[in-house]
Amino acid sequence: MKPKTAGNTVKSVTRIMLLESQSSAKNKAFWSKPFGIVAEVFAAVMCELHDVHGYHAHAWEYIKHYSDDDPVKALRAIFRVLSDVEECLRRVVNYPPPVEVVA
């Protein structure tokens, strides 16, 4: 499968997964962040995990374009959505939620 096609497939699955969970109160904060960036970063991670290489350039160009072609803004946007990407990965691979350590 070509990297761009694989990435688009993963983004579609991500959108469906997120739409199914949008009614949950826990996920309300998720929708305040740029959905496209979450889907794009998640797609790039999933492609890498499944040995589909070459999608990162497409993801970077999309995110950079979304951020007014400013690489610094693009990196900030990526860092802002990393926790949401982590939550998507957790749902896909069925990892338990992180345990909070009380000091």
87-95: long-range pairs with CB below 8 Å, 24+: 87/30, 88/14, 88/17, 88/18, 88/38, 88/42, 89/42, 89/45, 89/46, 91/17, 91/21, 92/17, 92/46
**Which pLDDT belongs to residue 60?**
92
How much is the average pLDDT of 56-80? 90
pTM: 0.64
What confidence tens digit (pLDDT) does each residue in 2-34 have? 555 555 566 666 665 555 555 555 555 444 457
pLDDT at 8: 59
What value does the mean pLDDT of the chain take?
Answer: 76
Q: Residues 53-69, buried b or exposed e (16+ Cβ, 10 A)?
A: eebeebbbebbbeebee
